[in-house]
Amino acid sequence: MKKMRNVLGLVLGLSLALSTFAAAAGVKLAVVGPHSGDLAPYGIPTKEAVEMYIAEVNKAGGVLGGEVEVLYLDSQCKPEIATNVAAKVASEKVNVVIGGICSGATKAALGIYKEAGVIAISPSATNPPLTQSGDYPNFYRTIAPDDEQGKMAANFVTGKLAAKKIALIHDKGDYGKGFVDFSKPVLEAAGAEIVMYEGITPGAMDYSAVVQKIRRERADAVVFGGYHPEASKLIAQMKKKRVKAPFIGPDGIKGNGFLEIAGKNAEGVYATGPMDVSSVAMNKDAKAAYQKAKNAEPGTFFDQGYAAVIAAIEAVKKAGSTDPKAIEAALKGSKFDTTLGTIGFSASGDATGVGFAVYQVQSGDFVEIK
């Protein structure tokens, strides 16, 4: 009888060990971003990129002995929602977050991720302090930061457009204000006069007072920091008041959401955005697969989201575990072939091998300015 008990104990012990191993096998990801609301056009393409890539990974057998599990969590790009989402990420014992999308919401969540040992790889959160402050060693991104984007916009405005009197308008957020703040010293160094520096309230229906001031100050260019809903309203009201100053914004307006809302008013608008990587072989394959599945073109940050999930999975493979320190070492010590080309990550978490270009809306689409 004692022998039987020992055998049963051994069987139960093995069963428990096997069930524990099964539960630990594989990797758990979370995709965090705006999947509803005004800014969903920036979050859904990354969600779709992850869905496509992970389906192929799981079809090939998964990672670390099990399928990759993915949670899709909607932050709406709102900091107060992002913190609640981050708490769920921590409670679900997620290994890597793909996201967030907006800098403010991402910043609100990163402390919680850090405390829980969760790595975050964003396709689009460009505020420089997210990496450069050193506060979030668990944060990485597959896009260049706003200081590069702001400088490019400023050089374009004073160089190509030869503008001398500049109106700087921002949405008061980390991302929008950061963009114009990084452009400001470059504009001033080039001899431009800043005739306006003003914040607007996101979601307001009327920006006519700001537009009147642009007109009164005779600005010959408007540099805007923020997202497409506010940019669309500003441009529509500028057209109505016959303010003809060229308008340039960041990658927060470079997308289908802006083109759809602004309509014909979008024509001629400039925006900075990630470099064109359509010639990269993996990019062509991913887009062809998307077009076949969806009968449409992928949206903004699809390429960066796809690259983020590739880097995450390949880093886990190289680490051979879900230990965050091992994954971080793999991220910082490796190169990854992605939809953006071959990229890596600096010691601070910024992507290497990526950059920005300037685009203009021509015949209803964004075209790179060479």
- Per-residue pLDDT tens listing for the chain (370 residues): 444 344 334 333 433 333 333 334 579 999 999 999 999 999 999 999 999 999 999 999 999 999 999 999 999 999 999 999 999 999 999 999 999 999 999 999 999 999 999 999 999 999 999 999 999 999 999 999 999 999 999 999 999 999 999 999 999 998 999 999 999 999 999 999 999 999 999 999 899 999 999 999 999 999 999 999 999 999 999 999 999 999 999 999 998 889 999 999 999 999 999 999 999 999 999 999 999 999 999 999 999 999 999 999 999 999 999 999 999 999 999 999 999 999 999 999 999 999 999 999 999 999 999 8
Residues 31 and 133 in one domain: yes
Residues 181 and 245 in one domain: yes
CA atoms of 241 and 236, how far apart (whole Å)? 9
Sign of torsion over alpha carbons 229, 230, 231, 233: positive
Residues 115 and 73 in one domain: yes
Residues 233 and 204 in one domain: yes
CB burial string 200-237: b at 16+ within 10 A, e below? beeeeeebeebbebbbebebbbbbbbbbbbbbbbbbbb
Strands 193-199 and 165-170: parallel
Residues 238 and 170 in one domain: yes
CATH number for the domain that contains residue 241: 3.40.50.2300
pLDDT at 370: 84
Residues 222 and 295 in one domain: no
Residue 61: other Cβ atoms inside 10 A: 9
Considering the domain boundaries, does residue 35 fall inside one?
A: yes
Considering the domain boundaries, does residue 267 fall inside one?
A: no
Considering the domain boundaries, does residue 126 fall inside one?
A: yes
Considering the domain boundaries, does residue 245 fall inside one?
A: yes
pLDDT at 92: 96
Count of domains for the chain: 2
Structure tokens at 310: 């590739």
Considering the domain boundaries, does residue 188 fall inside one?
A: yes
Residues 56 and 139 in one domain: yes
pLDDT at 25: 58
For residue 59, give every residue at least 6 positions away whose Cβ sits within 8 Å of its Cβ, in sequence order, or none.
Answer: none
Full domain range(s) for residue 176:
147-250
Considering the domain boundaries, does residue 262 fall inside one?
A: no
CA atoms of 173 and 107, how far apart (whole Å)? 11
Mark out the alpha helices in 190-280 (DSSP H runs): 208-216, 228-240, 256-262
pLDDT at 26: 79
